[in-house]
Chain A
Amino acid sequence: MTERPAPAPDDQAFVRAAQRGDMVAYEELVARHRDKIYARAYSMMRNEDDAVDLSQEAWVKGWQRLKQFQGESSFATWMTRIVINLCLDQLRRQKRYRAESIEMLDEESGGVERQMPVVTVNPTERLERTELRQRIDQALDQLSETHRMVLVLCEFEELEYKEIAKAMKCSIGTVMSRLFYARRKLAALLADLKKPE
């Protein structure tokens, strides 16, 4: 009879050890969730260097606030909230030095997204996975930071409108409008994806 390997300890054991000051345990938590935290930062910043820096900053903050973590959510979710807040702060700082994008003006001056024809988004049938990934990346790059942010918070983090509004410091109506614009623009960009016959 072959012996089954012992299951890897769950996050809780490492969190408790890290809360007592065990940095080796914290390193294990970083190793387990670093890709997820980095991916979230990257989806918001769309820049590898910024995403690496902000994700590392999030892990430093996570260590400092670890005693506040009570386990109401999973550790990964808790860390994701930290990195999201850091990204939002960073984007706000950057935005102070930049004019609003044309997309924002579009959105506020009448909502072109509402007149866009409905499209069938089905690129997976015709594109290789790698190519599809590249094209989605390009489409996301074409969204403004504000629209990308609302999309990330809704689609990936599955936050409610009121939570997104709180994080982005805007009204629920604005969240709905931005989200609709972002989805429709993305759908339009992805509808063009056709592999040459």
Chain B
Amino acid sequence: MNAEFQLKLQAYFDGELSAREAREIESILAAHADARALLAELRRTTEVLISHEAEVKLPESREFYWSKIQREIQRQEAGSHSASMPRPSWSRFLMPSGAIVALVLAGWFGAFEMGWLSRGGRSPQIETYLADSGAMTYRDEIERTTVVWLSYPAENEFAHADPADTIR
């Protein structure tokens, strides 16, 4: 039996041949015991396999199995429903303002992260003393450094004091 005949014999078993081809195979089967043996093997293998298939049962209870299906159906339907909901006409005005709010928030968050905005007293602080509006201090808590700027001449009551008070 060559390979071509073996595949043709299988096609005969599966009912895939034309009437003429089937007759040819039947005449060969009548004359060759090895062809009949192969056909019997194909037939028996199929029988065993099919009888075995009927035994498989789902290992879960009806309620448990169905609950997951139901949840998934409801989840997908909820998703598709919200996606297909028509938007009110005024909603188009929300989109640009929403973008602006998002940008402001992003900028604020970025500034916060970069330390430009106060974070619990640990960031640098700039203070102006009201008593002397010409003086300004800079305090960096992390570096434990304080820098004071003084304008000269100061524009306050002390600017016109006796020069004797001035340290030389």
Query: Could you tell me which A residues sit within 8 Å of B by CB distance?
Result: 23, 27, 30-31, 34-35, 38-39, 42-43, 48, 52, 55-57, 59-60, 63-64, 111, 114, 118-124, 132-133, 136-137, 151, 154-156, 160-161, 176-177, 179-180, 183-184, 186-187, 190
Contacts and interface: CB of A to CB of B under 8 A. Distances in A.
Given A30-B65, A114-B6, A123-B48, 7 more contacts: A48-B59, A52-B65, A64-B76, A120-B41, A120-B44, A154-B14, A176-B7
A177 B72 contact: no
Contacts of B81: none
A159 to B, nearest CB: 10
A48 to B, nearest CB: 6
Contacts of B7: 176-177, 180
Size band of the interface chain B makes with A: 35 or more
B10 interface: yes
B60 A155 contact: no
Prevailing SS type, chain A contact patch: helix
Contacts of A57: 72
Given A42-B56, A43-B56, A121 B45 contact: yes
B41 A119 contact: yes
B37 interface: yes
28 contacts: A34-B58, A34-B62, A35-B56, A35-B57, A35-B58, A38-B56, A39-B56, A48-B59, A56-B68, A56-B72, A59-B69, A63-B69, A111-B3, A118-B38, A120-B44, A132-B48, A136-B48, A155-B49, A156-B49, A161-B14, A179-B14, A180-B7, A180-B10, A183-B41, A183-B42, A186-B45, A190-B45, A190-B48
Query: Closest 8 CB pairs between A and B?
Result: A39-B56, A121-B44, A38-B58, A118-B37, A136-B52, A187-B45, A59-B69, A60-B72
B50 A30 contact: no
Contacts of A42: 56
Contacts of A55: 58
A132 B3 contact: no
A176 B10 contact: yes
B70 A43 contact: no
Instruction: Among B40, B41, B51, B59, find the residue whose CB has the most chain A CB atoms closer than 10 A.
Output: B41
Given A34-B58, A52-B60, A179-B10, A39 B53 contact: yes
B16 interface: yes
A30 B10 contact: no
A23 B68 CA distance: 13
